[in-house]
Amino acid sequence: METLLQGDWVESLQFLWPQLFWLLPLPLLIGLLPKVATAQQAALRLPQTEALAPWLGQAGAARTPLWRQLLALLAWLFLVLAAARPQWVGDPIELPTSGRDLMLAVDISGSMEEQDSEIRGKPVTRLQAVQLVASDFIRRREGDRVGLLLFGERAYLQAPLSLDRETVAALLMDASVGLAGQKTAIGDAIGLSLKKLRDSEKEQQERVLVLLTDGASNAGSLTPAKATELAKTEGLRIHTIAFGNEREIGFGFFKQKLRADVDERTLRYVAEQTGGQAFRARDAADLAKIYALIDELEPIERDVQVYRPITALFWWPLLVAIATSVLLALTAAGRRWWNS
């Protein structure tokens, strides 16, 4: 165990310029230089040479206390140590990466106010069911850049592509029915999603749109067919989710179920043309299963990049070298003052 810990310690402590350790014997090498006759003829002079005199073979060695000699050598040692730039390399940290930009387009038209689903036995609107299920889906997309687009009669970007999944999920939970109008513009939703994915600063290998709606396209300047053609040309894969249950009207024996208004045929066409899958969800349970299937169709990337944080340590030996030099200077000044 001790050997392992020692190995980890040695691996973590590194020097950026270890070749500077060759300067350590420089004071001794200076002592081997030919003696000069006078101070004016000296080619190289060091400060505080009297402290290093015994090591340099200079006169006055007997007058230099041993502790001053050791302090001078200590200052030089820590100065070279600081110049070698010691640094502490931390433990490896994994950064998840992904080759995918994932945009969610959620219908918030007036029909999403229908209460035809339940969560934990409590009736909820279609939008509330989507918010609870899709927010969990967003949080699971670790490594993906996720964006959120809301649409009704018009489409608008609620959250740009981001690795901050918690914020995107929170913005989905803040959505309200009717903010984008009462009608449904599926074509505009696809077109705006395509634009935002195309304008992404990061080049991605895969771009995916998950579009959920409970109605038929009856608004917008771009038809679903034209938007699908553009998406297919750009290589955008679209998964579509038709959401909503049949409604009951009347009472007693006179109850009658009405088909949901969702245009499944158009949604299937969009998915098939772009290489995606078309799904049908009638309640929150179906919706949760569908998002789980999308997790399988668009698996989270497991390849990771690893980096090790680096902390510079040269300040510590530099401070010791400065403190030691200041101490030598103060003692030298004090000795001259005392002798005078």
Lowest-pLDDT choice from 98-107, 180-189, 250-259: 250-259
Tens of pLDDT, residues 305-330: 666 788 888 888 888 888 888 887 77
Number of residues that make up the chain: 340
**Which one, of 255, 265, 198, 252, lies nearest residue 225 by Cα?**
265
Q: Is residue 61 over pLDDT 70?
A: no
Tokens of 210: 């998950």
Q: Is residue 259 over pLDDT 70?
A: no
One domain, residues 236 and 320: no
Tokens of 81: 């140590």
One domain, residues 123 and 140: yes
One domain, residues 244 and 107: yes
Report the C-alpha gap between 19 and 156 in whole angstroms: 59
Residue 262: count of CB within 10 angstroms of its CB: 22
Residue 255 pLDDT: 47
One domain, residues 125 and 259: yes
Q: Is residue 109 over pLDDT 80?
A: yes
Kindly tell me the burial class for residue 114, based on how many C-beta atoms sit within 10 Å of its own C-beta (0-12, 13-18, 19 or more). Answer: middle
One domain, residues 186 and 263: yes
Here the CATH number for the domain that contains residue 196 is: 3.40.50.410
- Residue whose tokens read 């038809």: 223
Q: Is the dihedral of CA 127, 131, 137, 141 positive or negative?
A: positive
One domain, residues 222 and 326: no
Tens of pLDDT, residues 207-240: 899 999 988 888 888 999 999 999 999 999 999 9
Q: Is the dihedral of CA 146, 147, 148, 153 positive or negative?
A: negative
**Which one, of 108, 165, 113, lies nearest residue 135 by Cα?**
165
Contact between 243 and 262 under an 8 Å Cβ cutoff? The reply is yes
**What's the structural domain count of the chain?**
2
One domain, residues 137 and 286: yes
Residue 339 pLDDT: 66
Query: Could you tell me the residue range of the domain that residue 166 belongs to?
Result: 95-303
Q: Is residue 302 over pLDDT 90?
A: no
One domain, residues 22 and 46: yes
One domain, residues 128 and 163: yes
One domain, residues 235 and 179: yes
One domain, residues 184 and 296: yes
Tokens of 321: 């070298």
- Residue whose tokens read 């810990």: 5
